Amino acid sequence: MQVKRNSKSRRISLKTVLIFTGILIIAYFPLSSFMFSLKNDSFTGYFPSRFFISESLKNNSFPWWNPYINFGLPQYGDMNSGFWNPITWLIAVLFEYNAYSFTIELLFYVLLSGIGMFQLCRSYKFTKTVAYISGFSYMCSGFIVAHLQHFNWISAAAFLPWCIWAYNQLINKFSMKNSVICSLLFYFFLSASHPGMIIGLIYFFLCYAVFFYLHKKKEEPNSFNSKSFFKKNGWMIGLMLVLSFGMITGYADIIPNMTRGTKIDTLSNIINPFTLQSLISLIFPMATVKAESFYNTDISMRNMYFGLTLFLFFIIALKEKRNSHQKFFLYTGLFFLILSLGGIFKYVTCNFLPFIGYVRLSGEFLIFSLFSFVIFAAFSLNNFIIEKKSYNENLSKTFHYVQLIIYSIIVIGICCAVFFQDSFIFHLSDILKTPGTSSKLKLLVDNFSVFDAMMLQGVLQTGFWNAIKKNIKEKTYKVLIKLVAIEMILATLLNIPFTGVGQDSTSDVETIIKRAPEGMQAPYYIPIYRIYSTKADRYKKLVGDWSFFSKQIGVDTKSNYPVELNSTKIVFKDSLSLFCYKPFIFNVDDSNETKIKVNSFKGDNIALTVYSNKPDTLVYQQNIYPHWNCVVNGEFKKPIPYKKVFNAVELNPGKNYVQFSFVPKAVVNALSFSKYAFLLCIIYLGIIFIKRPSP
């Protein structure tokens, strides 16, 4: 089947948006109801930087430098912070970051992923049945459910279908409007995604562009123009680079100064792959929530589920004659699947493919495989529907083989649960005696074994498998859409307690966040080790290290955060930080006669009055970085790196007015350039929409 552009506008209707919103609310009800909060990395690794951005803007301070994370880092270089993502700034400026807005933003990305897949399928001229099924399957896929705690992995999954949709529109019909839309969507992906996802997108886009070129040249030899094709790509890539200029400058600025700026050099540095055992998730997603030793990878890297209906037609497509688009998505999906497996596969590709060696978490490439396989299967389902194919022997055999697998898993689960006495059933009385609903659920999750998962999932899949068979036989596709929606909702709800949410509510997390001091207050002038009491450790499970929120500079022990400057290794060379027995700012001579007064403080700027009766050196416990400046009594002095880690300046006897400031001029100018380019694009699209309101 040749895929052609549909000349008729395919605007997303309000009904479609409401349908996907309804599915989102139900499928992700533990989050959408705020009954439970996001767990692990979400609030401990992704939220603190957004909170700092929001707090800085509230206090008329621009967040160039975050002084609270392991003695400071440039916020614009934090690839987990969303600093370059316009949505981050929209929330920070119009609202503020708290536990609720952070959760809503994540759910928005999940919604965007489903609607984006729907729109992409419609651009391929798929029926609405196929578009809805694909959208539901992608939005509630195993990858998204498993990675709810990894904020910028979900945002990458959200923008990926929109990028491919926009690129289809651009290549099929070039216009300045389509070029601007495509560039903006690619920029949203780049600015909102984990670095590994960006590298993956570069390879995916290059493959897709080459495929489009060859496909167009073959299918439309008379009308195809190579120069025109490269012109379309040139306009889009050029504008995207203009929009990304600030982000590229910021990342280029920090990479030489961070610990993760080098390639992996041994197999041991390749972690958390999607293991071959995890392929069981294609039918039994819930079976991946336990048995860590069997899967030999993190729980978030094991789930590739995209629904039984598309899985059925994925198998069917492997047996049938495939069109060129299907071949592309199949082979590309397999390529990324190999990268996701990690190990020797990844290690070999590191030596041949640029940038791949910088991605340590192999499993993140799985999103490109899952995305490709969804489209690959959707082509097969669409052909089945529009060509009005009947239930044939090929389908019948596939149904029977998969059904046999499901029955076998149920039997294995029952036998093993009884033999090993490993099931929540054996702990049911203790679970019921536990007071409180959340405590009961927590104990149930803790005692839920892999054999319970196999049994429960097997029973559910048997019912869905037979229902899918019935609807395909009878061609009741409207019922099939509802069936897929119910199936994906249940699969999501069953997996979320293990992968996405903790036992505490969103309000519990918000209560802790509200304990953070208001404003950008001056840090306490006391030894750093005395700042934090041991009771602050109880917050770590929910929001990470309290130093991220305390508005105090410095920690005595290293805080767990994904971005680390090279100097951090020296600061925390021993169990305690280098000068934790000193205040955040101190004089080297340690004279009691030296007086230090903080006149003003912002994250990237501190003004002091220092009196000393003899020459001395003033040390500001913030990581040394190229863009720190110092002014003493109106005279510019470049900070010296005290002990190779902290900013310091030499002072003469007497009263000294000292100001340390962080001024990354190149990044500031690049941000301004990209900001105005972004605003011009938005204004242009707004004018176009008013004049001609069509997508």
Measured at the CA of 221, the angle between CA 215 and CA 222, to 5 degrees, comes to 145
pLDDT (mean) for 307-312: 96
Above pLDDT 90, what percent of the chain?
Answer: 67
Range of 151-165, 287-301, 500-514 with top mean pLDDT: 151-165
Residue 347 has pLDDT above 80, yes or no: no
Which 3 state secondary structure label does DSSP give 484? helix
Residues 399-424 as b/e (b if ≥16 CB within 10 A, e otherwise) read beebeebbeebbeebeebbeeeebbb
pLDDT (mean) for 620-631: 96
Q: Tell me how far CA of residue 664 lies from CA of 69, 249, 293, 667, in angstroms.
A: 18, 10, 47, 5
Position 537 confidence tier, pLDDT thresholds 50, 70, 90: low
Residue 632 has pLDDT above 90, yes or no: yes
Residues 645-668 as b/e (b if ≥16 CB within 10 A, e otherwise) read bbbbbebeeeebebbbbbebeebb
User: Could you write out the three-class secondary structure of 311-357?
Assistant: HHHHHHHHHCCCCHHHHHHHHHHHHHHHHHCCHHHHHHHHCCCCCHH
pLDDT tens across 27-39, in order? Answer: 999 999 999 999 8
Output the pLDDT for position 42: 92
In angstroms, rounded to a whole number, what is the distance separating the alpha carbons of residues 350 and 265? 9
Place of tokens 């929606």: 485
Please say whether the beta carbons of 544 and 44 come within 8 A. Answer: yes
Output the pLDDT for position 538: 54
pLDDT (mean) for 331-337: 96
Is 87 buried (19+), middle (13-18) or exposed (0-12) by CB count in 10 A? middle
In angstroms, rounded to a whole number, what is the distance separating the alpha carbons of residues 510 and 269? 36
Place of tokens 């926009």: 166
Output the pLDDT for position 324: 93
Output the pLDDT for position 265: 64
Residue 3 has pLDDT above 50, yes or no: no
Position 552 confidence tier, pLDDT thresholds 50, 70, 90: very high
The single-letter DSSP state of residue 638 is P
pLDDT (mean) for 644-669: 95
Lowest mean pLDDT among 200-214, 345-359, 467-481: 345-359
Position 343 confidence tier, pLDDT thresholds 50, 70, 90: confident
Amino acid letter for position 503 = Q
Residue 4 has pLDDT above 50, yes or no: no
Residue 671 has pLDDT above 50, yes or no: yes
Position 142 confidence tier, pLDDT thresholds 50, 70, 90: very high
Rg (CA), the chain: 28
Lowest mean pLDDT among 116-120, 533-537, 565-569: 533-537
pLDDT tens across 239-249, in order? Answer: 999 999 999 99
Above pLDDT 70, what percent of the chain?
Answer: 95
| Residue-averaged pLDDT of the chain | 90
Give the residue, 694 or 265, on which the prediction is more confident: 265
Look up residue 508 and give its two tokens: 């519990």
Query: Rounded to two decimals, what is the model's pTM?
Result: 0.93
pLDDT tens across 75-101, in order? Answer: 999 988 899 999 999 999 999 999 999
Output the pLDDT for position 8: 44
179: β partners = none
Measured at the CA of 69, the angle between CA 66 and CA 74, to 5 degrees, comes to 35
Residue 546 has pLDDT above 80, yes or no: yes
Place of tokens 């002095």: 637
